Structure 1
């Protein structure tokens, strides 16, 4: 008898379970119908269609902006790479030639002369050049005293003038250092002869 009662109870539980499953299926069916109705209303409502088209247009514009941003960033990286290369080339040119240029404005620039003697750099000298309609005019100069006014001939091509002044500054620095070394050598020999 207990077996019969167990079967009856299990049958009731299955009825309860199947009843709740039917309720769930009918609930989900109702939800699907509501969603379909909302979609139909959205399609039939002209305001929603307009908003959807605007959203699509904005997404398209956003994609375009992202592509443009990538292009600009790539150009910027390329330009930065070129600037670094140019800077390195300028540094190497300065090292080998002893001359560097600083642009002050569109109408003038300053040339810096970096003399070197026995792999040692000495104080830099400078010359400002102002560009005119006729060519150029020499402005303020900080050059060694032995470089005279005739050496600064503004009728020469600018490249030639800069090269000549660079050579004069190097010669002045080299001779000055050689004189200092010679004096030191004579003084050490002189003191050695006195002490004997």
Structure 2
């Protein structure tokens, strides 16, 4: 089995919110790591990459007992272990928080929904960095899975919530690192 380590950098082109689901009265806040800094959780990144992989490479994914390439790589419900391990992405440089206050729209009436004022605490102006480890058995190596995986990571254009409101636009760079 071959181990490949990647360094991933995600540059924010617009403010980002990955909400923890917790609210402080009316403010939805960004997920914060143990060190108090914002993070892009590994599970969020893995879900996006898996979805991109299935979409780009037309995997014939089934709900149960699936042996498609994506399930072999990312794991499945049949107790198949993942061959890809993501770490939480952390800001590599200075970052800024901002508060965006908005109202919800009642789509039926096409008007502001009553009592719907809320705020997002977003992070801006930074680059998130982290590593991904990919373990490739020889049978998957022959199927160009490495190149397909890299393509799925590069295909990420948006992350997080409120994408329809202009948040979460990103640019992704991935490079293979050896022994670093």
* TM-score, normalization by structure 2: 0.23
Structure whose residues are more often helix by fraction = 1
Higher RCO (C-alpha 8 Å, min separation 6): 2
